[in-house]
Amino acid sequence: MTGPRVAGLRPSDVLASFDGPLGAYVHIPFCEWICPFCPYNKVLARLGLAADYFAALLTEIDMYGAGPFTSLYVGGGTPTLYPQHLAEVLPRIPVTGERAIEVLPLHGTVERLGVLKEIGFTAVSIGAQSFHDPVLRHLHRPHDAAQALAAVHHALDTFECVDVDLIVDVAPEEPSQHPGAFLTDVRTCFAMGVDQVSTYPLMRFGYTPFGEARHNRHREHEILAQVDALARTMGYERRSVWTFNRIGSAPYTSITRRRFLDFGAGASSFAGCDFYVNHFGLLTYIDAVKRDSPPIAKWLHLGRAPGMAYDTFWQAYSGLIDTDSLSDYGWWARLLPPALGPLVLAGLATRDHGQYRLTARGFDRYHDLERWVTYHFIEPLWAQMLAEHKREGSHVPWAETANARTGPTWRAVDRVLSRRVGTSA
């Protein structure tokens, strides 16, 4: 990393950098099965390591003593592996809104979901990805279609808010393979009455076994347009680039909260003008917490202009940019209307006073932009962080970081915005 060294970054320093209400995220990196398409920080589950990890996680949460949070989202990894540990985590995080968790279909049983509700979760996301066995085999998922369907039904009987994740991968949609499988999966979710369907496009991170491949973005636009049309006939509406909600249902999302403080190995926090990334290596993360230090490995001081750009980008994901809500960026916010004007002229958005709403064409362009941002910023950042596993002697074989995309855009951003994180030790 480059930039001035900041010795002894304290929890109070991090909290002081937030300029408004914040949500909370907790990362549980353990999996019993490694899905090769998934780029998130994860390791194979080991009981002893998990106990040490959760002890460090509780210490990190207490270290900040923050709250109340507007919401809590628990992801992974496979967070539903350890409900007994989650029962210790939730009481330490005061939340005024929903408490949501990702659920592996294998864990979507009546008994396991009942335990999650008893612990205090109010919403679940079932990681079905597909209800077609050939597609699940293509993705190397550990469950079958029947288990995914059963998990959704059980969740609907247990929770008031249920999201279902489906992966958009146009390769299985080719005529020679499983044409129409994805649209059929979406129709199934709508027919069951789930609150939200999240239609995530497959991201082919270079460091994963799925590797780099060309994307047929026009075909993806076409498929998502078909989902949009189907939604309107079945009582659903498009509430973001990739999510479709039952009309009148509560939203379920982990990425459009304006400010968030995240806990765990591989978690990241956004404070408005600062972006923090925790250590990805579990042993490194645990060691940092034991030294009574925030386990932050990467600090990007965005400042007002890049911070506003990041904030605006994620607002656009929801399909609506509210310039009034960005006034806390000072005079930079006055530059937004002229900057967003070309979107209106190009037919990508409509304007109503200070609000800019994406059109169907705007959703398509954002879909492409989000993928570009993912490959040019998120992938090189995560690859940099995943290298910690190798340095601590716990290299994860699915993450060949040497194969990750990188380039001058990320190197320039890293050089300009990074601040070195020191310790007071």
Question: What contacts 74, CB < 8 A, 6 or more positions away?
Answer: 25, 26, 28, 86, 89, 99, 100, 101, 102, 121
Residue 349's pLDDT is what? 98
Residue 6's pLDDT is what? 44
**pLDDT band (50, 70, 90) for residue 266:** very high
Domain boundary among 214, 229, 246: 246
106, 146 Cβ separation under 8 angstroms: no
**pLDDT band (50, 70, 90) for residue 425:** very low
Domain boundary among 219, 246, 273: 246
Q: Print the domain residue range for 360.
A: 303-421
Query: Residue 1 pLDDT more than 60?
Result: no
Residue 30 lies in a domain: yes
The CA distance from 126 to 142, in Å, is 14
- Burial of residue 250 (number of CB atoms within 10 Å: 0-12, 13-18, 19+): middle
Same domain, 16 and 108: yes
Provide the number of structural domains found in the chain.
2
Domain boundary among 216, 246, 276: 246
The CA distance from 45 to 83, in Å, is 14
28-80 pLDDT per residue, tens = 999 999 999 999 999 999 889 999 999 999 999 999 999 899 999 999 999 99
Same domain, 223 and 314: no
Residue 331 lies in a domain: yes
Residue 156 lies in a domain: yes
Name the DSSP class of 202: P
In 4-93, the DSSP E strands lie at 5-6, 23-28, 30-31, 43-44, 72-76
Mean pLDDT, range 324-337, rounded to an integer: 93
Same domain, 240 and 311: no
Residue 67's pLDDT is what? 85
DSSP assignments along 241-252, one per residue: SSEEEETTPPP-
Q: What is the pTM of this model?
A: 0.94
